[in-house]
Chain A
């Protein structure tokens, strides 16, 4: 009897003692942030995380490109999907609760925070890799701010960029201590945002090597800079930046236009087509190609929500090889590969940029505008043009880069209308998400989005 008592009591104590340790349970599927940034490899992995963030389906993984096409469409497309948010974008009737406007904003700043973390922890990186790590982080941050400011703020040529509200400029990583202040940020002016973009991209251009696998190299940055300068109508710098990419020797136009598209990721170390300057990498294990989701028919694993209308086909000259990329008389075949990379920059864009910028400035950096346009035309089996007008250049650009996410930005920077809407119409700018304005009423709403 006594022995049993003692035994029970002892086992009770043992049970209690051993159990208390078991309250410390470490996560297995994730890592405690206190253990996550200790070595150079950790920060290098964070850079990969930043590229993943900008490649999110709501950002350059597709929806930003899709929305640039839907918002700028005036009869070339037909939206037939059930998702409400892209529907509102296509009808140019976005509500302040539009969930694409919300997701693009949230995912955009998530990318920016990741870049800020890298830049704040550069001291951990080994010297041999430090420049590339910094360059990558600044490239992604600059590109992210550029894509966001083009959607959420008035374009550079609309009114006064120094007073137009742009975006909150966040340049340091978020800490728990800083959460209160994060609710009080204000929108820096469009000009201030562009200054930061150019500063980040210029730094990155100097830091990144000529070859960085499928991540950005110095020429990729130049290509993006050429776009930034175009938006600002800074044609001289745009021509120089585009020229740098063409002169690099790293890229070459393909002889078959259609071969540009539906490329698969080859993994780190090589690009998949000589004309590809930069793509968001997608594999069947990882990443998403939302251009496929919305543009491709179900025959190609898409939802088939976007049809190409006859009005678009009427723009092409007969014999244009670019027509061969369409199928079913109503679909573009540029996005047929469900696990294909999302093309962000192709070399042909650089020719078009150089031609337009040279034309407007009256220069011939690299080559004459006429030669550049004819190079593009010849590639798709079209005859040379004899005399060039600005409309020829803009038209060639529209056809060459159709449904690749350029239209809205090209129309706005050249002050062309979208149907009955002028380039500076309120409807062509995304609303600041209502969710953000509820948390931070100090974020001024864009005009035309009601009083809520």
Chain B
């Protein structure tokens, strides 16, 4: 009996065992996005520890115990899915990309963190957002997307310097640009231009190579970069390969662009009327002048007796009447063409990413063009289970056909000053007006009124060619499963060749009757090595610790050579080899180094309480021996309230985290030898000499910025609403300033650590998933306010250009000067306000007596952006509105172009409102030639320049897979995209987003318009194929 029971038991067990040994379930996991297989997905039998991982083809096979019924599929970046097995033996699953922001991995300095564990403030922008946007450089694609990051392109020229401000301007003399780190190396980022305005070394990066961009904004996130982090840090991570079948992607886009704005100028009849009035009548002298501008042949042959009004301006509508719209001559329809290719793949040991791209953009300004060809290969290789190696290599070549800087007669927009009666083609020569005077055989010296920029475009060249090479290699070795050693070496090699040729026809502008050629070579070799240890461990399952310690060394050498020659036999000879005289030749070099040690510890208790500490010691060649090293610590804490029992019962709140950070960072972006007293070699006529050119400052030290940030991260309603709110306060002390010295010292300035300024503000980020069905609608909204205030400049008022100043108690760069009080109705005098000693206010027509006071602020009160994305089946539609509010712009060209006929520049049409008769009430003073009536720098030329722009609009369609799989294509998308499509503003200039490039090198100069070209609105059509 016992035997039978035992047998039954055994059989039952065996049978039961056989039953519970269950079945083998297999299947394939793919992505809903593009149907591609997903390797590395965790497949878990729910309620057990039985699981596996999908292979390179996304396939898995798992022995599932009999009673189990559910498999859980999870993978980072995708929504976890639980699937009932039912009676199936093959379970295929499609995983959907997880758009919840909080489970993202965020790149921080020297490592990564999960967003939900972050105690600092980092804005992340994914690479796909930056792609397919028709701008030469990725910063322009970032506008309006990251809270608190203000990005401004100063004018519409291609490839020029772009201003980026993370939480306001933190310095007056040192750079205010954030530190850009690409794949671990702080890259060469400052303009290397010798001619024209600033250029932008960031244009050498192909935006399609960027996997993600992280902007480290607060002290906790950025202090790991120590002395260079005061303006925030932008970390650029390029794409890497993923194991799996090699994926190819090919894209092409093409489009056109136009200027975003135009201005109205006087026509010939109005011009004649206004200047006749301002001259006090149509005198013979004035007739001769108009005749000269109108290309009267007599103006060349018998200038002094040419008193008969010429047909070009005498009678409107008569034959020979000329009415040229000069602005129209330099603003044209631009175009862009771009071809992108990438390949990515690998197996579990070796992964690669390769890309190539070619872009060719013709700007909206005559003669402006930007071309870039780039290629990249990124490789990761797992040599053993402990050792990983990798390398990146990229090479790009860009060619920029450039223009003069804004304050040059040859810059295209200054053409608006030419008189409307001047014809585009001079009928006396059939050449562009100004090219040739048949009486002298040389270019005209006083016709048109100024040098004609069309001559520049026709005969001169200004080309900058840049070869940019980034190379890096890393090795990562697992000393134990908790301790990893990593070393990286990277270099950034920039080689730039700038050429500029002035033809004979341009001698009025160049001063060289037989031509001039300038040639500049620059090479910047910047290399960086990082070596550090990373430790990750979890103790007692509740204490989680990540620690990091290491060192970094960077050295950047800049070598420069140039030559200038004059006297070329004809325009066919353009290189200095052919110059009759070499008038200048130069060779220069400079260098700087940084040596740093850093450490960081991130501690997490029970997934609820977070603490982060970091410290960095930086030493640099830029600082004197007394103050060579600085220490930059930071600490931050976080409390994940949603993990607490009292909060987890509130269903609506999925995630809620409080965080605060405090730390110190520095700004070291100053000249390489500012602390030394220097002599320079100064010869006289071939006899060598020297004299002092800089006074020393042995006490020179870092600028220090201390920042406090408190914020909350939240996710509501199952994370359909997520967001962050931050308040921050940054105080910068020991500002490096070129302090004005009394002229009697023989020096203009001394670099000193004087003064302080602060930035305070708040940022709000809100991401909502409004509709999640077949029609998906998500919104991303960011909004920020920054209040900048200069606290202490040692009592100085630092002047920029025009009326821009740095003044204690005011934001940096306010306009400070006489306040315009309109026009005296009795006599047409321009009036200005005077604040009397007793505090009352009166007006005066004496510009010299007007009281200087704040009259405008170029810093915005608010900035923000809102992106809406819709997708339905294969159609996607996104639009981004970006806005800047509360800022003003100063028109530096106002005293020439809106000067009520003070001099013969063509005037803006609003000058027709000038005062004419006693009793007239108007804001434009009486027209008085050479009278300087109202032309002094004043609030007359300050305008409100807030704007809202429809920054980016994209409509795309993913062709259904049924259509394309036959062609072996995995996905195909066609799209139309527009940039800067609509602009809403009160600013009457060309474009409210402006800062003239001539002046942009000085932080005090903000919001200055000086014949600055408008931005471009672009529409492109494109196609992307993946296979």
Contacts and interface: CB of A to CB of B under 8 A. Distances in A.
Interface of A: 4-5, 8, 12, 15-16, 19-20, 22-25, 27-34, 36, 42, 45-53, 55, 82, 84, 91, 93, 95-96, 105-106, 108-114, 116-117, 168, 170, 173-174, 176, 179, 182-183, 185, 213-214, 265, 267-268, 281-287, 297-304, 329, 338, 433, 435-436, 438-440, 449-452
A8 B553 contact: no
23 contacts: A4-B477, A5-B479, A19-B553, A22-B553, A27-B676, A45-B690, A46-B691, A48-B683, A52-B684, A52-B689, A53-B691, A82-B896, A96-B848, A108-B743, A174-B745, A179-B745, A179-B750, A265-B685, A284-B583, A285-B584, A286-B683, A298-B507, A452-B852
Given A298-B443, A299-B445, A438-B740, 6 more contacts: A25-B593, A25-B621, A32-B677, A93-B932, A214-B685, A267-B687
A450 B512 CA distance: 42
The 9 A-B pairs of least Cβ separation, nearest first, read A113-B746, A48-B689, A49-B691, A33-B677, A281-B685, A36-B679, A25-B621, A301-B511, A450-B848
A27 B589 CA distance: 8
Contacts of B697: 176
Contacts of A436: 742-743
A89 B799 CA distance: 22
Interface in B869-927: 895-896, 903
Contact of B742 (A12, A42, A182): A182
Given A15-B553, A49-B689, A298-B445, A439 B742 contact: yes
Contacts of A50: 691
A303 B697 CA distance: 40
Contacts of A451: 849
Contacts of A304: 445-446
Given A16-B551, A110-B747, A48 B688 contact: yes
A389 to B, nearest CB: 34
A435 B740 contact: yes
B538 interface: no
Contact of A285 (B583, B673, B679): B583
A79 to B, nearest CB: 9
Contacts of A110: 746-747
Contacts of B683: 48, 52, 285-286
Contacts of A8: 477, 485, 487
Contacts of B127: none
Interface string B223-243: 000000000000000000000
B755 to A, nearest CB: 15
Nearest to A29: B588
A162 to B, nearest CB: 22
A109 B744 CA distance: 5
A102 B621 CA distance: 34
B833 to A, nearest CB: 14
A33 B696 contact: yes
A20 B625 CA distance: 13
A287 B621 contact: no
Interface string B841-853: 0000011110010
Given A52-B682, A298-B507, A23 B593 contact: yes
Contacts of B698: 176
B529 A284 contact: no
B678 interface: yes
A329 B304 contact: yes
Contacts, number: 234
A183 B742 contact: yes
A329 B304 CA distance: 9
Given A15-B551, A27-B672, A114 B692 contact: yes
Given A49-B689, A287-B685, A298-B511, A452 B848 contact: yes
Nearest to A214: B685
Contact of A48 (B511, B684, B694, B797): B684
Contacts of B685: 214, 265, 267-268, 281-283, 286-287
A47 B691 CA distance: 8
B72 interface: no
Contacts of B672: 25, 27
B308 interface: no
Interface residues of B, number: 84
Contacts of A300: 513
B589 A174 contact: no
A25 B513 CA distance: 44
B688 to A, nearest CB: 6
Contact of A22 (B511, B583, B593, B852): B593
B480 to A, nearest CB: 10
A113 B694 CA distance: 12
A111 B589 CA distance: 27
Contacts of A48: 682-684, 687-690
Contacts of A15: 529, 531, 551, 553
Nearest to A173: B746
Contact of B689 (A47, A174, A179, A450): A47
B406 to A, nearest CB: 14
B549 to A, nearest CB: 11
Contacts of A112: 744, 746
A426 B898 CA distance: 30
Contacts of B620: 23
Contacts of B684: 48, 51-52, 55, 281, 286-287
Contacts of A284: 566, 581, 583
B896 A450 contact: no
Contacts of B676: 27, 32-33
B425 interface: no
A67 to B, nearest CB: 17
A299 to B, nearest CB: 6
Nearest to B692: A33
A297 B621 contact: no
Nearest to A167: B744
A95 B847 contact: yes
Contacts of A93: 932
A326 B529 CA distance: 67
B681 to A, nearest CB: 8
Interface centre among A28, A49, A51 (most CB of B within 10 A): A49
A194 to B, nearest CB: 18
B628 A23 contact: yes
A291 B930 CA distance: 23
Contacts of B591: 25, 28
A184 B524 CA distance: 44
Interface in B472-489: 477, 479, 485, 487
A435 B691 CA distance: 24
B588 A267 contact: no
A327 B887 CA distance: 52
A113 B513 CA distance: 39
A179 B678 CA distance: 17
Nearest to B595: A19
Contacts of A438: 740, 796-797
B588 A28 contact: yes
Contacts of B799: 435
B828 to A, nearest CB: 18
Interface centre among B589, B685, B848 (most CB of A within 10 A): B685
A84 B937 CA distance: 11
A436 B742 CA distance: 6
A52 B685 CA distance: 9
A27 B479 CA distance: 43
Contacts of A47: 689
Interface string B728-771: 00000000000011111111101000000000000000000000
B746 A299 contact: no
Contact of B445 (A116, A297, A449): A297
Interface string B189-209: 000000000000000000000
Contacts of B745: 109, 113, 170, 174, 179, 182
B984 to A, nearest CB: 34
Nearest to A107: B743
Interface centre among B581, B682, B697, B936 (most CB of A within 10 A): B682
